[in-house]
Amino acid sequence: MQWLAWGGPPRVLQRRAGWPIAGELIQVAPRLAMAFPVRVCAFVGRFADPRVGESIALLLPHLAARGVEVLVSEDLPPEAATGPFSRVDERAIVERADLIIAIGGDGTLLYAARLAARRDAPLLGINRGRLGFLTDVMPQDVVASVDSALQGESELDRRPLLEARLQPGGGAADASLALNDVVLQKLATGRMIDFETWIDGRYVNTHAGDGIVVASATGSTAYALSCGGPIVEPNLDVLVLAPISPHTLSDRPIVVSARSAIEIRLMERPDTRGQVVCDGTVLGELAPGGRMTVRLAPQTVTLLHPGGYDYYRLLRSKLHWGRGNVDHSR
């Protein structure tokens, strides 16, 4: 058994034996296990969005008063915010940030997760988008939630990442990370693609349709859900394979061990090309005979949640469950 400890008096320690166990929390002491104190904080978001600018304008003076240096990307419009902050490139955010705050929707957090994984910096999501399964801090709770993170009072939730790799690769950009999912989709409108799935070197099925989603437990509430996949609790060590608009009704989503190596082979068909997308970002194209592999990455991402985080309460809120008149609070 291996225990991962962070700087500062830990409140949560994570157990890892071989592969990361998503979302496993062990309460052991009264403070948060992260780089503490936070001296440098980075903002990530679509800064042209006035809702994002509103949260930044609120946080900048507050963080300055607490002696925290703020980094923002170079594309922040001059009129978007005033206050003490440094414009830096993406590399500086990765190298310097003790805490990354993603302001926007889940797409913003997915982008920020790739940055956070490169430094193992904790990530706090502020919801200024629409649904927000991952960005679970509401606008009215921004200051309190950031203060909790700075004081080490947030809940730490370590999530695994997926690594997608194209074979043969098309150069240096033939691999990428994903927190939610890796998608093989058809490149041409109006055409199906034919492909095979293999798991741990064993043939599973031949598919015809619009593609397939390989999702982590975290990503089970994203694209895979719209393909008929199940909702998977984030602490389960599994992957979901969900065909996209399959031609055969018996071609159903399946759940496999997260320790599995998934291989997708694009079959030799005239004028067939596929596209591989990781968390909404295009990784590359697959030609007939090309292969895509997906497995757990060695990196993980640490999400920060407000105190009292409850995954099932989140599902009720986002999916409008439990709308009856019965009071279930205890």
For the annotated catalytic residues, the residue numbers are: 106
* 125 phi, psi to nearest 5 deg: -105, 125
Angle in degrees, CA 158, 162, 163, rounded to 5:
135
Displacement of CA 113 from its chain's centroid (Å): 6
Provide the 10 A C-beta neighbour count for residue 52. 25
Which is nearest to 149 in space by CA: 130, 115, 121, 127? 121
**Which 3-state string (H, E, C) describes 114-170?**
HHHHHHCCCEEEEECCCCCCCCCECHHHHHHHHHHHHCCCCEEEEEEEEEEEEECCC
* 317 phi, psi to nearest 5 deg: -70, -45
Q: What is d(CA 204, CA 262) in angstroms, rounded to the nearest whole number? A: 10
Using CA atoms, how far residue 105 sits from 52, 171, 213, 280, 306, in Å, is 10, 31, 21, 13, 17
Q: What is d(CA 24, CA 294) in angstroms, rounded to the nearest whole number? A: 23
Q: What is d(CA 211, CA 230) in angstroms, rounded to the nearest whole number? A: 18
Q: What is d(CA 328, CA 330) in angstroms, rounded to the nearest whole number? A: 6
Cβ(211)–Cβ(186) below 8 Å: yes
Q: What is d(CA 285, CA 73) in angstroms, rounded to the nearest whole number? A: 29
